Structure 1
Amino acid sequence: MLELKNISFCTSEKNILNDLNYTFERGKTYSVLGNNGVGKSTLAKIIMGLNGYYKNHKGEIILNNEDITDLKIDERARKGITMAWQEPARFKGMSVIDYLKLGNKNQLTMNDMIKYLNLVGLNEKYLNRNVDKTLSGGERKRIELASIVILKPEIVILDEPDSGIDMMSNSMIDSILKELKNNNSTVITITHREEISLLSDKAILLCNGMIRNEGTPEYIGNIYKKLCDFCTNINEPAEKIEVKKVAN
């Protein structure tokens, strides 16, 4: 269980997150839905503990009743928190096989690695490729997602999981989310697309750094389509968005 307590974050220019509170339950999938600029990625970076974020916010982060607020990114990773970035990393000279084995405590067979590559739409020919510029951004993103499924982490943050992936269908992303859920991982998907949010168990509407509403993905997606799709009022949300009205 991951608890966020009174999380606030500001820069010299503006407040990004404003006294945000939420509890993510173990083994459930969540989507954080909102327009660009409302604080979604900042929230993800704070949970992950990126440099420049983990010490500069107010509030507490509790993982399984342990306060991890002051832990760095590597310490949080050892606690089971991981994140898939919008722009996946390159590792010159590292093969896909070695990359998939990174941090994995279980003995991986070749069949295991092929299975997880197939899950993200890649075949076994990729195993001997290197995770570098010879792969497209979309291919590296798929390999990163496969590695995360293999890790079976406690908390997974997917920042715009469909970003940079050519022709990756919603059904494939849904399969990845289901595999993570089957591993009892808590999944937090950051997205500005209601179609992606519909793949989660629960959805949160973020606006102006605050949770404006929460409930079923269908309910939140409907609000988003009606009030947020064409909204230019990023820093001052429309008054019609009811604050924290829960619809189950």
Structure 2
Amino acid sequence: MLILSNVWYCTFQREILKGINMEFLPGTKYVILGTNGAGKSTVGYVIMGLEGYKPSEGRIFLDGRDITDLSVTERAKLGITLMWQEPARFDGINVETYLTLGGRLNVSKSEVCDALEFVGLDPALYLKRLVDKTLSGGERKRVELASLLLLKPRYAILDEPDSGIDLMSLDMINNVINYIAQYGGTPIVITHREEMAYNTDYGYLICAGLILKTGRTEEVISAFRGTCEVCKHPNLPVNGELK
């Protein structure tokens, strides 16, 4: 189990996360839902342990082990992966090299081709394409989704996975999310869109760094509709409630 216990994150004397408590069980599909600027991506960065995103207070536990002070690399070795909202470009590296981690990932070429086909990319056209500016944002997002299929992480954080991808590809993204859960992994979908939230089991509604609602996804979406989409409150939530 992955646990965030009373996690605060502050930067430049601003409180971005304010006492976040979350639990993520294996094989369950989660959503972190909220409007832009609510602190959703920051939760993902804190879980992944990106540089500059160490909690100001609180701890992060994986299977009872405190991983708060572990590096990104150490967390990756424990099975935590972050798929960026804006995928990185790697000049001089082709898709096949990227997906196999330069040959270090123990997968066959057939498995690489299957992963590309799963996300709607023709291996004959993409294996040797460079992961650079010649790929569109949507193509790079698909390549990154293919990497999740091959890595099989224990915890896959997907930050706005539909960003840069047309609406017709929503089923493909959901298939990737389902695949992760089926092998016992835990997909954590970060999004501001209801459409991406529907294919999850349990959710957290976040606003201004506070969790306003936890529960089954349909309950969280209902709270999102009733609170965030019609929000008329110019002030931040106080003690977890809108004032």
TM surpasses 0.5: yes
Task: Work out whether 1:98 is the aligned partner of 2:97.
Answer: yes
Supply the distance in 2 between the matched residues of 1:241 and 1:17 (Cα, whole angstroms): 15
Provide the aligned C-alpha RMSD in A.
2.1
Aligned to 1:4: 4
Contact 1:208–1:235 (CA under 8 A) maintained in structure 2: no
Aligned pairs for 1:109-188 within 5 A: 109-124=108-123, 125-188=125-188
Amino acid paired to 2:82: M
Q: 1:213 is paired with a residue of what secondary structure?
A: strand
Q: 1:89 is paired with a residue of what secondary structure?
A: coil
Aligned to 2:192: 192
Aligned to 1:222: 222
- State the Cα distance separating 1:116 from its structure 2 match: 1.0
Supply the distance in 1 between the matched residues of 2:184 and 2:103 (Cα, whole angstroms): 16
Could you tell which deviates more after superposition, 119-128 or 62-71?
119-128
Deviations 1:127-173 (A, max 9, x none): 11111111111101110111012101111100000011234532111
Aligned to 1:61: 60
Supply the distance in 1 between the matched residues of 2:24 and 2:143 (Cα, whole angstroms): 26
Q: 2:205 is paired with a residue of what secondary structure?
A: strand
Task: Using the aligned pairs only, state the percent identity.
Answer: 46
Amino acid paired to 1:62: F
Q: 2:139 is paired with a residue of what secondary structure?
A: helix
The normalised TM-score by structure 1 is 0.90
The normalised TM-score by structure 2 is 0.92
Query: What is the number of residues matched between the two proteins?
Result: 241
Supply the distance in 1 between the matched residues of 2:178 and 2:14 (Cα, whole angstroms): 37
Mark the CA change 1:187 to 1:131 in structure 2 (over 3 Å): closer, same or farther: same
Mark the CA change 1:200 to 1:235 in structure 2 (over 3 Å): closer, same or farther: farther
Supply the distance in 2 between the matched residues of 1:232 and 1:48 (Cα, whole angstroms): 33
Amino acid paired to 2:219: Y
**Gaps (5+ residues) in structure 1?**
243-248
Deviations 1:65-123 (A, max 9, x none): 11100011111111111100011111111111111101886632232112111221111
- State the Cα distance separating 1:57 from its structure 2 match: 2.3
